[in-house]
Amino acid sequence: MRWPWLRHSRTIEPPKPVSMKRAQLETAKEILAEVFHARPEDVEEMIQQRLEERTLAYEPEPLDEDGLWPETFCLSGE
């Protein structure tokens, strides 16, 4: 019989650090799921649709015929 306190020792790894933004996103997902009585998959879909809507609404500044930015800029609008 082996005594429990005589087992081989092992190194305990510290938990991996979680970014603050990631933690906030996960908390927001949990809140949305609770408020809307939705499954986590539905919340992911809601967020993805919102991001797609924002991406489609974005119109970038026009570039010149070569696909490059203009050589000079005018701040006054003249």
* pTM for this predicted structure: 0.46
pLDDT tens-place string over residues 19-62: 888 889 889 889 988 988 889 889 899 889 988 888 877 766 66
Which of 40, 41, 44, 64 has its CA nearest to residue 52? 44
Q: What is the DSSP letter of 54?
A: H
Residue, of 29 and 6, whose pLDDT is higher? 29
Which of 77, 60, 78, 59 has its CA nearest to residue 69? 60
Say what the pLDDT of residue 10 is.
73
Whether the Cβ atoms of residue 47 and residue 41 lie closer than 8 Å to each other: no
Boundaries of every domain in the chain: 22-56
Residue 44, exposed/middle/buried by CB under 10 A (0-12, 13-18, 19+)?
middle
